[in-house]
Amino acid sequence: MSLCYYLSSFFKIFLALVFLNFFVTTNILAKPAFDAENAFMYLRKQCSFGPRNPGSQGHSKTKDFLIKELKKFSKNDIHSRFYIQIF
């Protein structure tokens, strides 16, 4: 086999090791820790809106709150709007 083949194989292995080292040292693959106090804060905030029956003021406030909070974690705002008849 030619020297070019060996260099190509070596280069591929080298790149794989560089990327592996990057992922291990930066903890990109690590799971975030669960924060119980933060989760409870979100629960209390949603409950402060009152009953959240569809069509109610509490439902609308909760929807707006969740959209506002989720926008903090994403550059794209994609959510589906639909209308239903409430009896």
Contact 49, 61 (CB under 8 A): yes
Which token pair is 9? 């194989």
Q: Whole-structure pTM over 0.85, yes or no? A: no
Read off the DSSP letter of residue 55. Answer: T
pLDDT digits (tens, 9 = 90+) for 9-56: 666 777 777 777 666 666 666 677 889 999 999 999 999 999 988 888
